[in-house]
Structures are given as C-alpha cells and as structure tokens.
C-alpha cells in the first residue's frame, strides 16, 4: 500500500509547505505555502484514495448519475460509465478512455468519481502515461488542490508541453505568479515548444496579481513568438491591460484585433466600466449592436456596472429592462448592479422596493450594496435592516458585524451593539486588516495599516506626513471609515 501511495505522490507525511523533489532541467524549492482549503483537499484526497485501495471499493466504482447504482449500457453512455463498466466486466481498458474519463470528472466537477478513476489509474498501471498524468493535474487543479496537482506532475516520468501547460494553468488559478514564471522558464530551458495556452495562463495570473510589468514582458514575448494573432490570446492581453488600468493600450489591442469575437467586445466594455469610463463603455455597446454582435449576460453586466459607477440611473434601468429583448435572463449580479445604482443615486427606498420585487432571492452582495449606500447617506435605520438581512445570509462576515455595531451605536442602541460585540467574540470573529500594494521594478509589495515590517517604513512615514500636511493646506479634512 505505501509503495503505491509513494509512486503516485500521495505520501502520508508529505510536507505541505515544501516540495523538494528535483525536476528535469530545474529544481523547485519552497514552492508555496498552501491555503487552508488546499491542505484540507489534499488530506481528503489521500484519505479517499487510501480507503478505496484498502477496502477494495474500486472494484465497485459507482457513477453519481446512476440513481439505482447500476451502469448505463446505452450507446450514448459517457466515458466514466464506460470505464466503470469495462472494469467491472474485466475488459481491457485503454489509456484514451481513462484520460477522457478523468477529463470529464474535471469538467463536470465530480470529485469523488474522479478519485475512483484515479484509483483505476493506479490499479491498471497507467501512472507513467503522460496524457493521464496531464488529466490528473487538471482534475486536482480544478478543485484547488494544487499540492495534489503538483505531486501528479512531479511523479510523471515523462512530461510534454500539455502536462507543463496544465501545471502552469493550475498555479495561475491560485495566482501563484512566481511558480508560473518558474514553470515557464523551465519549459523554455528544456526547449519545449510553448503553445498559446501557456501565454493566456501567464497573462491571467499577471492580471490577477496586478503585476503589469510582468504582463507587458509576456506581451512582448507573445509578439516575438507570433501568437498575437490568436483571438483568445489577444483577448487575454486586452483584459490584462484593462484590469491594470491601461485602457488606451487595451483599446489599441481591440482595434487591431481582426477577428473580434463576443469575448473581445465584452472584455473592452468591462474594461472601460472598471476604469470609470462609462460613456466609452456605452458607446462601444451601441457600436457592438450596430455590428450585429448579440450581447450576452456578461455584456449587460459590463454596461450596468458602467452606469452604476457614473450614476446613469435612467440609462441603467433602460439597459436592464432591455435584457429580455435579447433573450438574456437577469441574474443576481445584474440585480446587484441596479441596487447599487439606485443607492448611489440616493434612491434608497426605490432600491429597497426593487429588492422586495426581485423574482430571485437576494444574496449578501445585494444587501451589502444597500447597506453601503445607507451608511454613506446617513440612513441608519434602513442600514440596520440591510445589515441584519445580510448577516442572516452570511453569519461569518466580520465586516457586517462591525458595520451593524456601528449603526446600532449611531442610533444609541447600546444594548444591541454590546450583544453584537459579544456574538463576535463568542464566534471568534476578528477584523481582517485591509491591505494595499504597489508594484516596483516588477515586484509587488503588499502592506497593511500600521505595518512596520518594511525596511523603508521610516522614509514612507515621513513622506506620508508631508502629504498629509500638503492636503491640510488645501483644507482637505480627514474622514472616518465608519467601521
């Protein structure tokens, strides 16, 4: 048993904070400190696989879609059902069938079934196959189990560009920029022919990490290697520039993209909206309709978000009501935009009535939008109603507890404020400090309030004092966050 577990990398005493196994062409040290849910997923994977192998449950693999726990023998049965049936009947199982089954488990997000397929991989001796190994990487990455995904990658005796790309994409989902860059350099060092999917993953993690310098360097490499003509690569570049605030460069990419698809239009519209260019976002949306490109839910989300930031109440409501004309059913995010739009326009009662008339159940984000507007405009009673509704949906939310305490105090409800403080203490809820970050020479520095761990903290504090004095000379007053 231990030999099997050692072979496929799910070792019981695996140090989760370090993986020191050398790779071909490169040695990775101190890969990452996994998040709590990743550690939990890793332990679940180990336990499930051990249970299946020890108890022999793998002999009776079950598909979750089979209500009567029997297998479908129809001609249209999926690869998972077919794999389980072949195994049950003692038929020879091919590599392609196992790989397809694992890929299906990843795309359908059926974790327990994927574990069973992994067991069949072990039992049938397919661990060394490069395609199955790549499927395992993708499967575990989809569930955020990056440690398990890396172990599958680490144990592969042969790796191709697909397996490297799958591993890089897994780290990109976790916003592990450092590991993505190391994997990319490892691929280049081994002389592997990098494909366009590697670059889309790299751009994605640069965008998620706010590392514009690295993203621009990746863009240069894309141009050198001739991938800028691929529409999905162009869309990734466009999104990266938009998210990093470089909307002019994003628009340049958009204009030079010859074969624009719906994603191209959506990325540019959302990019304008996120950077506060509401008029440009609306104009682009109107141009999109003239080009007879049919908008989808993401398009309308970008337009409504733009109207929200600009305070275009009439236009926002008009676009929201027009969604049905394009066969797009409003979702909770669209309703949230309208609530925020009305709240920012000081139409708090209208926002409250809009929530009551919603055909779907409002979530914490919607009540949070109303809560924020009430706080900013001093409507504390309605703010309490919004906060209490949000807390009922998200009882673990520290910020909502703090906001509710503040609202109770503003109205002199000291007993309720004390009760809420005790509830926070009893539940072990503590305020998570917010943080800011800045990119200097392609390196991102993150810091929190009252952070004295940085080497240049004295110089920074002195500069902040100068800025504060400068603002005071212009009669700029300090404001209270309200929390």
Answer yes or no: is pLDDT of 59 > 80.
Answer: no
Place 432 in a pLDDT band, splitting at 50, 70 and 90: low
Four-residue CA torsion sign, 380, 385, 386, 389: positive
* Top-confidence residue, 277 or 56: 277
Q: Classify burial at 31, counting beta carbons within 10 Å of its beta carbon; exposed 0-12, middle 13-18, buried 19 or more.
A: buried
| pLDDT at res. 38 | 41
Instruction: Tell me: pLDDT of 18 over 70.
Output: no
| % helix, strand, coil for the chain, step of 5 | 65, 5, 30
Q: Say if residues 46 and 12 touch (Cβ distance below 8 Å).
A: yes
Report pLDDT for 266. Answer: 94
Q: What is the pLDDT of residues 352-361, one digit of tens each?
A: 999 999 999 9
Least confident stretch, 44-48, 56-60, 98-102:
56-60
What tens digit of pLDDT does each residue of 113-163 get? Answer: 888 888 888 888 888 889 899 999 999 999 888 998 998 898 888 899 999
What is the per-residue pLDDT for 128?
83
Report whether 434 contacts 448 (CB < 8 A).
yes
The first and second tokens of residue 227, run together, are: 């991938």
Chain segment 376-397, per-residue pLDDT in tens = 888 999 999 999 999 999 888 8
Beta-carbon contacts of 307 under 8 Å, excluding residues fewer than 6 positions away, are 278, 282, 313, 315, 316, 319, 337, 341
CB 176 within 8 A of CB 183: no
Instruction: Give yes or no for residue 4 having a pLDDT over 80.
Output: no
Secondary structure (DSSP) of 33-91: ---HHHHHHHHHHHHHHHHHHHHTGGGG---TT-TTS----STT--HHHHHHHHHHHT-
pTM over 0.85: no
pLDDT in tens, 233-242: 999 999 999 9
Q: What phi-psi label fits residue 478: left (phi over 0), alpha (psi between -120 and 50 degrees) or beta?
A: beta
Confidence of residue 462 (pLDDT cuts 50, 70, 90): confident
- Mean pLDDT, rounded, for 263-287: 93
- Highest average pLDDT, of 117-131, 343-357, 436-450, comes from 343-357
pLDDT of 278 reads: 92
Residue 245 pLDDT grade (very low, low, confident, very high; cuts 50, 70, 90): confident
Looking at the predicted structure, is the pLDDT value of residue 475 above 50? Answer: yes
Tens of pLDDT, residue by residue over 162-205, are 999 999 999 999 989 889 999 999 999 999 988 899 999 999 99
**In the predicted structure, residue 65 carries a pLDDT above the cut 60:** no
């Amino acid at each position: 048993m231990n030999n099997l577990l050692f072979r496929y990398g799910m070792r019981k005493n695996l140090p989760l904070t370090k993986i020191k196994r050398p790779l071909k062409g490169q040695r990775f040290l101190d890969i990452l400190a996994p998040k709590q849910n990743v550690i939990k997923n890793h332990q679940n994977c180990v336990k499930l696989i051990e249970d299946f192998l020890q108890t022999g449950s793998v002999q009776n693999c079950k598909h979750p879609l089979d209500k009567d726990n029997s297998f479908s023998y129809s001609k249209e049965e999926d690869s998972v059902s077919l794999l389980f049936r072949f195994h049950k009947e003692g038929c020879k199982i091919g590599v392609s069938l196992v790989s397809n089954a694992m890929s299906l488990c990843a795309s359908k997000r059926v974790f327990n079934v994927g574990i069973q397929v992994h067991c069949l991989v072990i039992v049938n001796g397919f661990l060394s196959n490069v395609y199955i190994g790549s499927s395992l990487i993708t499967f575990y990455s989809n569930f955020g189990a990056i440690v398990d995904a890396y172990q599958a990658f680490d144990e592969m005796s042969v790796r191709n560009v697909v397996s490297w790309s799958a591993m890089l994409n897994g780290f990109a989902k976790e916003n592990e920029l450092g590991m993505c860059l190391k994997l990319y350099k490892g691929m280049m060092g081994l002389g592997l022919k990098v494909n366009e999917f590697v670059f889309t993953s790299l751009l994605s993690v640069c965008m998620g990490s706010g590392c514009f310098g690295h993203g621009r360097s990746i863009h240069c490499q894309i141009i050198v290697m001739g991938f800028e003509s691929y529409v999905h690569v162009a869309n990734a570049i466009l999104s990266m520039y938009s998210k990093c605030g470089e909307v002019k460069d994003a628009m340049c990419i958009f204009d030079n993209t010859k074969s624009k698809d719906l994603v191209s239009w959506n990325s540019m519209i959302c990019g304008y909206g996120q950077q506060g260019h509401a008029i440009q976002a609306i104009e682009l949306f109107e141009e999109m309709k003239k080009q007879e490109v049919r908008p989808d839910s993401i398009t309308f989300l970008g337009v409504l978000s733009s109207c929200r930031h600009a305070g275009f109440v009439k236009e926002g409501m008009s676009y929201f009501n027009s969604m049905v004309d394009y066969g797009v059913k409003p979702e909770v995010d669209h309703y949230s935009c309208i609530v925020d739009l009305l709240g920012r326009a000081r139409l708090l009662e209208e926002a409250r009535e809009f929530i009551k008339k919603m055909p779907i159940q409002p979530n914490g984000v919607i009540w949070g939008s109303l809560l924020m507007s009430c706080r900013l405009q001093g409507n504390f009673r309605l703010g309490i109603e919004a906060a209490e509704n949000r807390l009922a949906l998200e009882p673990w939310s520290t910020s909502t507890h703090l906001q509710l305490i503040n609202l109770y105090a503003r109205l002199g409800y000291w007993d309720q404020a004390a009760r809420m403080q005790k509830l926070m203490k009893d539940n072990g809820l503590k305020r998570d400090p917010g943080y800011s970050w800045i990119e200097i020479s392609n390196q991102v520095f993150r810091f929190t309030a009252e952070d004295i761990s940085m080497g240049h903290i004295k110089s920074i504090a002195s500069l902040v004092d100068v800025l504060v004095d400068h603002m005071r000379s212009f009669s700029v007053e300090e404001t209270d966050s309200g929390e």
